[in-house]
Structures are given as C-alpha cells and as structure tokens.
Structure 1
Amino acid sequence: MADILEVLRRWGGVARRGDLFRDGVARAELEAALAAGILVRPRRGIYALPDADPVLVRCAATSSLLTCVSAARHHGFWVVREPEEAHILRMDGRYDSGRAVVHRQSWWPPEPRSHVASRPDVLLHALRCLPELEALVMVESAAQKGLSLDFLRQRLPGRRNAAARRVLDAVGSGADSLLETLAREHLRRAGLGVQPQVEVEGVGWMDVLVEGFVDVETDGRVHNEPAQRAKDYRRDRAAQLRGYEVLRYTYSDIVDRPQSMVAEVCEVVARRRALGGPAPGRTAVG
C-alpha cells in the first residue's frame, strides 16, 4: 500500500491507471487500496488520494492542464490573489466539468504525466489574461528563478500582445516578495523616483527607497512576530537618526488600498521638500 501512496504523491495525488501500472503498481494492489478507501476513483481510469487537490483531479479526469494563476503556486511563483475560477489549458477549448477560464494555446510542453502546464505556458497565459500588476508579480518571481524574459517576449508579437510586453518591460530585480514588487510599481507609476533593495550602512536593506529619503518597508506575516517587530523598531530608529523618513505598510495596505499608500508617501515627500532639507547621505555597503 505504501508504494501506491508514494507513487500518487509523486504525481500530485492523482494519476491515470496506466501510469500507475508503469510505475510498478499491481492491479490487485490498486483494487485493494480502492476497496479499503485509501484511494478514490473520480472517473474511470483515474485514481486519486482522498485529500488530492480537486482542481488537479478535474484536470486529470478531463485531459486538461492547470495553468495561469491557478498553476502559479505549483511552480513556486508569487500570487496576489487566488482565482475564483480554475484556469485550465485545453487546446480544443472544450471543458464541461464546471466553471473555468479555458486557455487554448500552448508554447511549451509540460513535464511528462504532469497535470500542470509548463512554466512558460503558465506565465504566457498570465501575461495575456491577468491584470498587469498580478501578471507582473508572477513573472518577476519567475525571472528571479532564472526564466528568460526574452523567451517570453519572443512569443508575444504584434499589437494584441502590447500590454503583455509592457509587463515584461516593468520587471525588476532584487524584490524579496510580491509586496515589494507591488509597492515599487505603484510608487513608480505615481511619478516618484524609486530604488528597490538599497543597502545603507548602519541600517541594512531598505525595501524601497523613494526620492532618496523615504524608506518604504513592506511587512509580510513574519513582521508580526515579537522578535522581528523589535528588530524592525531598532532598524527604523537607525534609519531615522540618519535622516530617513520611514513608512511601513502591510499586505492589506499594499494589495487592497494602494491609493492610500501612494498618497501618504507623496505627502511625506512634499512635506520634506517644502522644508528644503538635504537628502540624507547614503553609504551603500559594497
């Protein structure tokens, strides 16, 4: 029984009967596991663990592939919002197994026996499907893993793909999280000068430095932990003593209320300029 479970987990919790046989699972073992409730059979020829991702099970049962934002986490890409509907790849466009966003074009084959589209397909679908900033965070995280932006750009010719190419043009480097990417891009689009991931002697790394003197910090869940919070307080005092303004924003601030974040940063920038004080001298650690 353990062999069957190991094989199924290797394939995301769901597999076709023929593939299980090719992996050395005997027919008698398969039927015994099914009778014992260790496995379920959602459709003829398809076997799954009871806790398998139901969307992956649907893909296996309909000869489809999970793609776009629905497949982002499977490839380790950042995701701003979980989709309300599954995004699937089926090149004939037919899908009669519940509500879904159906993508029809494929540029690169998936891994053998995978129920998830290839990394290039997932990103290209996202670039042509999602709002610009949601596509940007996915592509930027993929670029940090070494995926070639030129490879994607070459597959997005013509006027109909102009918006997707603009997303590729906005991809930056060095962001540690999707929050940094979103904050940087919102502030840049507001006309502010931004520098991501600036290291300042005596302070450390600043997430986004705005106009040379506003340190915008993007706080994920780890910043709620007491030890991290105390470290943040010490770091902020060090930045302020060196002449920087420090503003901290949470996931909700950046994702749900970006206009308020931008307005506050602009207000601090305008106030500092009105005072006419010099920008702090920055010493980068080489």
Structure 2
Amino acid sequence: MSRAELLASDLTDNDLRRMVRRGELTQVRRGWYAKPDADTTALSACRRGGSLSCVSALKKHGVWVPPGYDSLHVRATKHAQCRRRDFCVLPGRPLPIDTILDSVPVALACAARCMTDEDWIACADSVMNSQGIKVAELRSQLPYVSAHIDRLLLRCDHRSQSGTESLVRDRLYLRGFHVEVQPAIDDVGHVDLKLGRLLLECDSKLHHTSLESYRKDRRRDRKSVAQNLISMRLTYDDVLYGWDETLEDILAITKPGKHRLSRPKTSP
C-alpha cells in the first residue's frame, strides 16, 4: 500500500515508522509499504517502480485471460517510463500510480497494446459478462479509448459465456460468417453459437462432465438432431491448440451449405 492509502486508514507517519521497526511493515520503495505476507507479484511491480497492471492485473481481478501471458506486466508513471522501457504503456495521458493493483478498466485499456486483438476481445467479453454490462458501458469506463480500442469494441459481445466462445465467434466473424450468439432453441435451450443449422458448443478449460451434465448434453444433442440441426462440441484444446483442424471440420459442413436453413416449400 502507498503511504497515502495507509494514512487514509487513520495511521500516522509515527505509526508507520513503529510498524517498520517491529517488522509489521517493510518499506518496499519510497512511499510504499508491504506486509510480510504481501503478494509476490505486487511486490515485484512495486520494486520496479509501478503498479500491477495490464494482463497481470486482469488475472488478479478474475478476468479470463488466454494462455501465453505469463510475464509480469507493470504500468508506471510517465517519469518512470523515461528510465526503463519494459513497462506497459497506457494509451492517452499517463495516469498516476495511486494503488498497487490497477482497476479493471485501466488494466484492460493497457492490455490493448500487449495482447493480440482476439485475446483482448475475449478479455473484454469476460469483463462485460461478469459485470452484467454492455459495450457502451464498458467503453465509458475505460480511461481512454484509442481508435484501435474502438475498433476492437465493435467486435465484442457481452453475451459470450466463455473465453473459448469469444475466440470462436470472433474468428468466424472475421471469415465472414453470420454468427448468432446464445440463441434460444426450442426443446434445447440456449446454445453458445449458431451458424444456420450448425450449433457450436464451446467448453471452457474447467468444463467437467458429470453424469448429470453428460445426460443433459446428450439430450440437447438428441433434440437438436430431431429438429434437423447439426450439433458440434468444441473442447478447450480444440479452440486454443487445434484450431486449424477444428476450422477444417466447421468448413466441411459450411462450404457445401449443409448448415444453411432450408426454406419452407410454398404451394404452387
């Protein structure tokens, strides 16, 4: 915590000095203190002269983050950025470092420069879905919306229920598909994605198939087939590590037009 945060909690500078002597606090850098059991990543960010931000902060806030972002992401003030080049940079005017963990909007805006477009979109979807907000509200929360971020927000959707669903939706959207998100199907319920007659269900990494969910999934598949719909279930690995093969299977259905809904015949 910063000195300002500690003083705001009714401590005095004399209290801080006593707590440091007793080992209850450690002065990490000028104006910043830590308890003995402080989070190690937060300590590292503090020692580097910034706050935990970007992808690292999103993870701490429980936002879904795709694999591949394991390094420490730290945001610093404009003055500190001049001394080092390994900081994450927030678009727009630099913000002061008031707390060790950046808020979700600040971290998300910062992450737009460190993540791939589709990964950032998946994170933004996760934020919106967990907070129950839509794109317009998320945009208003961000400290700065660059032209790049504005373009990415156009591809976001608050209805996505998982990161894998967001990735699949965005990838198919970029290929020109009209993708329905979380449509309701009679006798089936809501499905993740729909392309004509093709229903796509995207499992998360933590998806576990209990006997009850196994039976439920098979019933949904049966009801789908009975309505002349095609159901395809995609695992976490299918989306994250085997997308090329998965896409081939999707295209094998969509290229011949098998996924298109047939129009009802009209009487002559």
The verdict on a shared fold, with TM-score over 0.5 as the criterion, is yes
**Partners in 1 of 2:138 and 2:16 — Cα distance?**
43
Equivalence for 2:178: 193
The residue type equivalent to 1:30 in the other structure is: M
Give 1:170 shift.
Answer: 0.7
Shift in alpha-carbon separation, 1:49–1:95, aligned structure 2, 3 A: farther
Is 1:148 aligned to residue 133 of structure 2?
no
Shift of 1:27: 5.3
- Tell me the SS of whatever aligns to 2:176: coil
- Helix, strand or coil at the partner of 1:224: coil
Q: Please give the alpha-carbon distance, in whole angstroms, between the structure 2 residues aligned to 1:171 and 1:76.
A: 19
Q: For 1:67, which of 49, 53, 59 is the aligned residue?
A: 53
1:165-176 mapped onto 2 (5 Å cutoff): 165-176=150-161
Which residue number corresponds to residue 242 of structure 1? Answer: 227
CA deviations 1:33-76 (Å, max 9, x no partner) are 62xxx766655765434553322112233441122111113344
Match of 1:261 in 2: 246
Q: Identity over the aligned pairs, expressed in percent?
A: 24
Q: Which residue of structure 2 lines up, in the alignment, with residue 217 of structure 1?
A: 201
Q: 1:86, 1:101 within 8 Å by CA — same for their partners in 2?
A: no
Residue of structure 1 in register with 2:72 after alignment: 86
TM-aligned CA distance change 1:61 to 1:101, over 3 Å: closer
Residue by residue, what CA displacement relative to the aligned partner does 1:62-113 show, whole Å, maximum 9, x if unpaired? 44112211111334432112523222111221566xx944326565857x95
1:222 alignment partner, SS class: coil
Structure 1 residues 186, 143: CA separation in 2 closer, same or farther (over 3 Å shift)? same
The aligned length equals 253
SS in 1 for 2:154: helix
- Determine whether 1:128 maps to 2:113: yes
Residues 1:23 and 2:9 are matched in the alignment: yes
What is the letter of the counterpart of residue 268 of structure 1?
I
Which whole-Å CA distance do the structure 2 matches of 1:152 and 1:24 have between them? 31
Contact 1:203 1:239 in 2 (8 A): yes
The one-letter code matched in structure 2 to 1:48 is: A
Q: Please give the alpha-carbon distance, in whole angstroms, between the structure 2 residues aligned to 1:231 and 1:33.
A: 58
Name the SS for the 1:170 alignment partner.
coil
**Contact 1:66 1:117 (8 Å CA) reproduced:** yes
1:217 match: secondary structure: strand
Q: Post-superposition shift, 1:22? A: 4.9
User: What residue ranges of structure 2 are gaps of 5+ in the alignment?
Assistant: none
Q: Secondary structure at the match of 1:30?
A: helix
8 Å CA contact retained: 2:180, 2:194: yes
TM-score of the superposed pair, with normalisation by structure 2? 0.77
**Paired residue secondary structure (2:262):** coil
Corresponding residue SS for 1:58: helix
Residue number among 208, 213, 227 corresponding to 1:228 in the alignment:
213
With over 3 angstroms needed to count, the CA separation of the structure-2 counterparts of 1:232 and 1:69, relative to structure 1, is same
| 2:217 maps to amino acid | D
The root-mean-square deviation of aligned C-alpha atoms, in Å, is: 3.4
Secondary structure of residue in 2 paired with 1:149: helix
How far apart, in 1, do the equivalents of 2:128 and 2:43 lie? 29
Task: Kindly indicate whether residue 162 of structure 2 is the aligned counterpart of residue 177 of structure 1.
Answer: yes
Residue 38 of structure 2 corresponds to 52
